[in-house]
Amino acid sequence: MATPSFSIILSLLLIIGVGISQSEARAFFVFGDSLVDSGNNNYLATTARADSPPYGIDYPTRRATGRFSNGYNIPDIISQQIGSSESPLPYLSPSLTGQRLLVGANFASAGIGILNDTGVQFINIIRMPQQLDYFRQYQRRVSGLIGEASTQRLVNQALVLMTLGGNDFVNNYFLVPNSARSRQFSIPDYVPFLIREYRKILMTVYNLGGRRVIVTGTGPLGCVPAELAQRSRNGECSPELQQAAALFNPQLMQMLQGLNRELGSNVFIAANTQQMHTNFITNPQAYGFITSKVACCGQGPYNGLGLCTPLSNLCPNRDLYAFWDPFHPSEKANKIIVQQIMSGTTEFMNPMNLSTILAMDSQA
């Protein structure tokens, strides 16, 4: 349930509105994996790419952009909601120069995780230490444009989105039977290890100037079409992966709350993406989907095997599918997730949603 102060702020939002003009729009920085990569991997020699059809089939240009979506991804939709002139460009894009730098930057790279040994099979991807190095480099570049003091202010006032963790299970611990990490840790021991490593990453973001950081949990890992195809007999979610998500997400929330107490400020905002996904996975019809088990694009059981390619099965109406490919939500599902990020109760966004943050910060 929403707290009284939360309800009051929400009422104020309804009265004054939260739309902000582009002149007031804050910079937006994105870190993480394929759920939020907008095309950095296009510039890398890696198999973790989404730069060919049918990716992007519903994007305005109808072309594959490197987003792991049929259309917009989560950073795109958040950018629209916060009044940005455009979604932050991939940091490796040659177009990210001049005034476009002031919009922010997307450092995310498909395949990466909290741990540096996650996604080794993808070879050349931008792991978290490199994403953070690029953030430092970005700040040096912007300082050359507007000066150090203005750059620090731009970064301090920016919105940051951090999406990590799923690959540390799917593309590391559970990737193959008897994986190195599964021999080293049981899941109840692996999760606290991940949380400790994640905490270091988040403190680095804070030390680099991040002051409003939305941190998403993992979705229900065992319910994605890829896992159903490999592990499910009758369409039931994989219990091992579900256990991993059920342990990881509450411990992530506790860690974020502890960091905020230490810092004396609500720097880190926990987005309960597991619950957001679970709602439309358990009751897809309520959200206008015909299925949350079968991917729109893919092959094999649940269209969950292999990659989404021009040779894959492709559904005619992407809005009817919760999942676009074996791992990634459809644009419509992404819009539902962002709706909860913007205006969800404390069940979904803790300690507050993004609309509340925008309203509070506009008064600061």
pLDDT exceeds cutoff 50 at 230? yes
Per-residue burial over 28-64, b if 16 or more Cβ lie within 10 Å, else e, is bbbbbbbbbbbbbbbbbebebbbeeebbbbbbeeeeb
Reply yes or no on whether the pLDDT at 218 is more than 70.
yes
pTM of this prediction exceeds 0.75: yes
Contact 256, 272 (CB under 8 A): no
pLDDT of 11: 40
Structure-token pair, residue 150: 């203005």
* For residue 188, cis peptide bond before it (omega within 30 degrees of 0): no
95: left (phi over 0), alpha (psi -120 to 50) or beta: alpha
Counting residues of the chain whose pLDDT is more than 90, the rounded percentage is 91
- Asked whether residue 6 carries a pLDDT value surpassing 60, the answer given is no
Q: Which residue would you say has higher pLDDT here, 200 or 14?
A: 200
- Start-to-end C-alpha separation, the chain: 26
pLDDT in the model for residue 24: 52
How many whole angstroms separate alpha carbon 14 and alpha carbon 362? 15
Beta strands in the chain (DSSP E): 28-32, 104-106, 159-163, 213-216, 268-271, 297-298, 313-314, 349-350
Supply the mean pLDDT for the chain. 93
What number of other Cβ atoms are within 10 A of residue 305's Cβ? 16
pLDDT digits (tens, 9 = 90+) for 34-72: 999 999 999 999 999 999 999 999 999 999 999 999 999
pLDDT value, residue 101: 98
pLDDT tens digit sequence for 322-361:
999 999 999 999 999 999 999 999 999 999 999 999 999 9
Q: Choose, from 33, 34, 69, 277, the residue flagged as catalytic.
A: 34
Residue 358 has what pLDDT? 94
* pLDDT at residue 19 in the model: 36
pLDDT band per the 50, 70, 90 thresholds, residue 25: confident
Instruction: Give me the pLDDT at residue 362, please.
Output: 87
pLDDT(122) > 60: yes
Structure confidence at residue 23 (pLDDT) = 36
**C-alpha pair distances (Å), 360 with each of 185, 196, 353:** 42, 30, 11
pLDDT of 292 over the 50 cut? yes
Q: How many CB atoms lie within 10 A of CB 19?
A: 10
Active site residue 343: no
Report DSSP state, residue 223.
Answer: G
> CA–CA separation, 237 vs 234, rounded Å?
9
Mean pLDDT value across residues 246-275: 97
Catalytic (active site) residue 328: yes
**189 included as an active-site residue:** no
Both tokens of residue 19? 């739309």
pLDDT at 3 over 80: no
Q: Is the pLDDT of residue 16 over 60?
A: no
User: What are the pLDDT digits (tens) for 82-115?
Assistant: 999 999 999 999 999 999 999 999 999 999 999 9
How much is the average pLDDT of 224-247? 95
3-state SS assignment for residue 4:
helix
Q: What are 189-214's pLDDT values in tens digits?
A: 999 999 999 999 999 999 999 999 99
Say if residue 284's pLDDT is above 90.
yes
Q: Identify the burial level of 233 via C-beta atoms within 10 angstroms of its C-beta, where 0-12 means exposed, 13-18 middle and 19 or more buried.
A: exposed
From 197, 311, 293, 195, select the one nearest 252 (Cα to Cα). Answer: 195
Choice among 328, 330, 343, 355 that is catalytic: 328
Give the per-residue pLDDT at 363. Answer: 83
Average pLDDT over residues 216-245: 95
**Mean pLDDT, to the nearest integer, of 5-10?**
43
Q: Which of 33, 76, 168, 325 is catalytic?
A: 325
Give helix 148-156 / helix 128-146 axis angle, nearest 10°.
130
Which candidate, 272, 266, 238, places its Cα nearest to that of 252?
272
Residue among 20, 281, 312, 327 at smallest CA distance from 163 = 327
